[in-house]
Amino acid sequence: PFDILSVLRKEAPVRYDRTRNCWDVFAYGDVHRVLKDSRTFSSVRGAAAGQNLLFMDPPKHTQLRDLVNKAFTPKAIQELAPRIQSIAEQLLDQVTGEEMDIVSDFATPLPVIVISELLGAPKEDRAHFKRWSDILVESAEDVSDEAFQKITEKRMGAMQELTLYFKSILELRAKQPQDDLISALLKAEINGEKLTERDLIGFCILLLAAGNETTTNLITNGVRIVTEQPSIHSELNLSPETIPSFIEEVLRYYPPIVAIGRIATENTEIGSQTVQAGDQIIIWVGAANWDESKFTDPDKFDLHRKPNPHLSFGFGIHFCLGAPLARLEGKIALQALLDRYNEIKLQTDQPLIPIPSSFVFGVKNYPITFVQ
């Protein structure tokens, strides 16, 4: 699916696109450098993007990130494994017959339930969570100004609803703390300072926006590999201990986030091109992950690829906070599916609908049949 990016990378690893007014960066080394150098390449965006970690630079970013890191260490996340496992089993218990849609029956509800429980949101609010997180990551229907305006209004509406929603939950938890992330964040301090309400709300919204659709796509893309490459399926059945390295290779091969944006803060060079302060830069993870100067046989799905320095969770100070959670959910979800079902096949009579965004790699439906 990323052939076009590979062609562009070979033609010109860094290029200016006049129609979109931005630089595109395709080569692994350049992508890595832009992610690493957060001083020259800023993440700060307009107010419409919301106030959150993803769109902050140091020192504000460092303070906030230090505070929330504790809740997301691999050790803290590992403790969620039994609960994630039981959510996955329950979802599969609800499947009747010998077919299901991986996206709607399994890969979508799983991360939504996990994140709402982690935050401590009441169960009855889950349907809203799903609707809100969908709107936050939805892209415009086309490139027209009207479509852009429509999506911006929809997004602002969802942001307002979410802000009110989390405000009320924060008030409840401030009075009566529970064993959940919101209560923990309310208590957290750094250098004697607590998080402001605005930062807390921004962070909760970010978790929905950054964590749900990405993890849905990781799980679905994993199932996609299993159906596209039956030999990988057989190997996984024979050696389930390869599932962690399978998940890493799924992330490299079909990255849920294909492109990441930055703004240059000063005049600089990327590759042999001169970039001006204020220029917008799009770095293409989908191209970097398939760069043959970094990966041997990049178009081969290699279950045993080692090392596998893909950039699907980014790199540097903004490296995905939820990576341990996404990896754990991906592993548990795939293992649960493989334990239950044999001969997983894509139903070919229905067309697959790609997610209409060049920044995200995934499909809206993935109907399968299987033998129990």
Q: Which residues bind ligand HEM (CB under 6 A)?
A: 43, 53-54, 65, 115, 206-207, 210-211, 214-215, 218, 256-257, 260, 312-314, 318, 320-322, 325-326
Q: Which is nearer to ligand HEM, 12 or 261 (CB)?
A: 261
Measured from the CB of residue 145, what is the shortest distance to ligand HEM in angstroms?
26
Closest separation between CB of residue 286 and ligand HEM, Å?
Answer: 11
Tell me whether residue 286 or residue 322 sits nearer to ligand HEM (CB atom): 322
Asked if residue 212 lies in contact with residue 133, where contact means CB atoms within 8 angstroms, the answer is yes
Which residue sits closest to ligand HEM, CB atoms considered? 322
Nearest distance in Å: CB 321, ligand HEM: 4
What is the nearest approach in angstroms of ligand HEM to the Cβ of residue 315?
8
Strand, helix or coil at 7? Answer: helix
Nearer Cβ to ligand HEM, position 53 or 282? 53
Measured from the CB atom, the residue of 319 and 356 that comes closer to ligand HEM is 319
Instruction: Give the contacts of 190 (CB within 8 A, at least 6 positions apart).
Output: 63, 66, 67
CA distance 276 to 263: 10
In eight-state DSSP terms, residue 102 is: I
Nearest to ligand HEM of 150, 319 (CB atom): 319
Cα 351 from chain centre: 24
Q: In this structure, what token pair is assigned to residue 45?
A: 């965006």
d(CA 38, CA 213): 26
Q: How far is the CB of 35 from ligand HEM (least distance, A)?
A: 6
Q: What is the b/e burial string over 214-253, where b = at least 16 CB atoms within 10 angstroms of the residue's CB?
A: bbbbbbbbbbbbbbeeeebbeebeeeeeebebbbbbbbbb
Nearer to ligand HEM, 136 or 207 (CB): 207
**Residue with smaller CB distance to ligand HEM, 170 or 326:** 326
Q: Are strands 14-17 and 41-42 parallel, antiparallel or unpaired?
A: unpaired
Contact 154, 163 (CB under 8 A): no
Contact 5, 287 (CB under 8 A): yes
Min separation Cβ 253 and ligand HEM, Å: 12
Query: What is the C-alpha separation between 15 and 273, in angstroms, rounded?
Result: 8
Provide, rounded to whole angstroms, the least separation between the CB of residue 224 and ligand HEM: 14
